[in-house]
Amino acid sequence: MSVLAGVRAAIIDLDGTMLDTIPDFHVAINSMREELGLAPITQEQITLMVGKGSENLIRAVLALDLAPDEVEARFAQAMDAYQRHYLSINGQFSSLYPEVLEGLSALKQQGLRLACVTNKPISFTTPLLAAKGLNSYFEVVYGGDSLARKKPDPLPLQTVCADFGLPAAQVVAIGDSSNDAQAARAAGCPVLTVPYGYNHGEAIHTIDSDGIVDTLLSAATLIRSQN
Ligand SMILES: O=C(O)COP(=O)(O)O
Ligand SMILES: [Mg+2]
């Protein structure tokens, strides 16, 4: 029997799965770096560092130039500048991946309940989902700072299962990175991965998942075929 048989809900990741947000990160990070007197960095460099939340990203970005004690000394100033710049451009340079809206509509039409779980701070996530016409699809949204622990910890996924009153085996996680898959495995959720996002520079095939789907619409088609 397929692990997708009996699935009643889906938890969808945001950055690298629904939206290509690297251009937003790029503008916000380089505006922050300029304020701190640091040279601009490339989108490719940023793509390798996105996925484990803002604190991790800012530390990694500062560590390109600064020694560990300098990173800590300038962290608060960098985070403040980064948040201010990100919120001022949030969504302006980011775009939906192909078949995201079609996939979310199909999942809903198939009767699945939908949650969004991201490591992005919730203060960035809520306006971004609204700006991109994504918020109405989700009953539940958790950002990286909504709960005590973020992905790859299973807590956000376990919380969604509890919110929906469903066993983990009936809630599929769909994401672009090993964080999503590790959280899903630890929670006991089936997991599908998309190949077009940001997996810390690692090939998608290195992720332990229950399948690779080209788009969210392909995910919906696969789930329907197994139910
Ligand atoms: O902002 C991040 O670190 C990544 O966010 P994601 O969990 O939506 O991929
Ligand atoms: Mg992601």
Q: What is the largest CA-CA distance in the chain?
A: 57
171-198 pLDDT, tens per residue? 999 999 999 999 999 999 999 999 999 9
209-221 pLDDT, tens per residue? 999 999 999 999 9
Same domain, 206 and 109: yes
What residue numbers bound the domain in which 104 lies? Answer: 9-20+95-225
Same domain, 52 and 64: yes
Nearest to residue 202, comparing CAs of 16, 8, 7, 5?
16
The phi and psi torsions of 37 (rounded to 5 degrees) equal 75, 25
Residue 195 forms part of a structural domain: yes
Q: How far is the CA of 188 from the centre of ligand 2 (A)?
A: 19
Determine whether the annotation assigns residue 176 to a binding site.
Answer: yes
The C-alpha atoms of residue 13 and residue 114 are separated, in whole angstroms, by 11
ipTM value of the model?
0.96
102-118 pLDDT, tens per residue? 999 999 999 999 999 99
CATH code, domain with 60:
1.10.150
26-51 pLDDT, tens per residue? 999 999 999 999 999 999 999 999 98
Instruction: Identify whether 208 is a catalytic site residue.
Output: no
Q: Atom 1, ligand 1: which residue's CA is nearest? A: 120
Q: What angle do CA 165, 132, 209 make, to 5 degrees?
A: 50
- Ligand 1 pocket residue status of 15, Cβ below 6 Å: yes
- Ligand 1 pocket residue status of 152, Cβ below 6 Å: no
108-162 pLDDT, tens per residue? 999 999 999 999 999 999 999 999 999 999 999 999 999 999 999 999 999 999 9
- pTM metric for this prediction: 0.96
Same domain, 83 and 142: no
What is the atom index within ligand 1 of the atom nearest the CA of 125?
A: 8
Same domain, 111 and 217: yes
